[in-house]
Amino acid sequence: MISIDKEKDENQPLNKKARSLADIAKWGKITAVFLIITGSLSALSAIVTLLGAIPGVLLIISGVMLMRSAKAAAALQEGLEENAEENMLEHYASFIKMQFFYAVSSVALGIIAFILVAIFAVIGIMAYHSTDTYDTPDSYYYENDPVFE
The model's pLDDT over 31-48, given as tens digits with 9 standing for 90+, comes to 999 999 998 988 888 777
118 found inside a domain: no
69 found inside a domain: yes
**Cβ-contact 68, 87 below 8 angstroms:** yes
* Long-range pairs, 140-149, Cβ under 8 A, ≥24: none
**Cβ-contact 52, 93 below 8 angstroms:** no
pTM for the structure as a whole: 0.68
114 found inside a domain: no
**Cβ-contact 109, 90 below 8 angstroms:** no
Sequence-distant (6+) residues with CB within 8 A of 120 are none
5 found inside a domain: no
What Cα–Cα distance (Å) separates residue 101 from each residue in 17, 34, 38, 42, 136?
Answer: 30, 18, 16, 15, 53
* Phi-psi map region of 79: left, alpha, beta (phi>0 left; psi -120 to 50 alpha): left
Question: What pLDDT band is residue 1 in, cutting at 50, 70 and 90?
Answer: very low
122 found inside a domain: no
126 found inside a domain: no
95 found inside a domain: yes
**Cβ-contact 105, 58 below 8 angstroms:** yes
116 found inside a domain: no
How many separate domains does the chain show? 1
pLDDT at 117: 95
Residue range(s) defining the domain that contains residue 84: 14-101
**How much is the average pLDDT of 87-109?**
90
**How much is the average pLDDT of 82-103?**
90
